[in-house]
Structure 1
Amino acid sequence: MESTDVQGDLAQVLVTEEQIHDKLRELARRIEADYEGEDLLLVGVLKGAVMVMADLSRELRNHVEIDWMAVSSYGNSTKSSGVVQIRKDLDTPLEGRHVLIVEDIIDSGLTLSWLLENFAARGAASIEVCALLRKPDAAKVEIDCRYVGFDIPNEFVVGYGLDYAERYRNLRDVAVLAPHVYA
């Protein structure tokens, strides 16, 4: 879906599809260098990270394994509740593994903070984070994110996997959702 297809629902396009692909290519080169010779497991956080995971993994030129975890702290709201619910757990044991969590967005950081603690308790050798987007002004906890695509304002955004009530995930850009849509 192009931004022009839902122009009336969007307040502003923040990051275009082309900018996203350029940034993922850049991040992939850094990840390759940092994990050269290592057995890397990419863990995507469903559902939002589907697009990021697909495009980032295709940019990587070394072998990686992929697994998925579904957690939620949003429901159909525009703000995180802070209560994390596991909807789908990993299929891969983490003990002794180098794990890169692939996220669409770091908002409050509460969900990601919980994931980092959970993965550490499972015995991962290392855990790093790659997030396409980060909202520094929305942070409620400090998250050390090694790979960040774009810092964005504290607005409710959709597109490139990000949704509002399961809509707009297939929007190719990342855009601010117009308040009249969710008011």
Structure 2
Amino acid sequence: MKVKHLLLSITALAGLSYFTLQDASANTLDSNEFYSQVKVYDENNQEIPYSIEEIQELIEYVPEEFTVSKPENMIAPRSMHSTYSTGKFNFSSHIWLGKMSTGNEFFNPADTIITVPGEAKAFTISAYQGSSSSSSKSVELPGGWIGSVHMPVWMDLPRGKSYRFKLDGTGGKSVSISNVDVWYNWQG
């Protein structure tokens, strides 16, 4: 009788574990869902009505299984002059990229590559020109994706200027980042 109860318990536990793992992976966004939820805003904080195809040209989602430490093949060819890498960090409300309280200024930014550990929470990355308090461009990324997001969307900002980058979380949830690479001094 004890063996029956033990086998029944093991079977129930295995079944519960299987369905819990299936449900967790079912919540991760596939690339089509990811692209359909990305929003890009202009300097007036107005959403730019990009189609999914246009978003795919602006932003490249690289699922976890394809992520490498330095995806050299994904970087805009002329943006490799200077790189700033953040390393790991967490934030809940907002954080500026760089060592200063309002972030470092990056001259002629071209790309950002954001990598998350595990499943990402929703957040927005915004570029601010110089010491301006209003953003020049923002990209809202949905939660639920894993891996890296490569964003050469900064190449169309006015050239010859410096920009700071700010990440804003949504809903007060803690956002974990493995690394953000900022590629700047683009001479294109």
The question of a shared fold, defined as TM-score above 0.5 by the shorter chain, is answered with no
| TM-score scaled by length of structure 1 | 0.31
User: Looking at both structures, which has the greater relative contact order when contacts are Cα pairs under 8 Å and sequence separation is at least 6?
Assistant: 2
| Bigger radius of gyration | 2
| TM-score scaled by length of structure 2 | 0.30
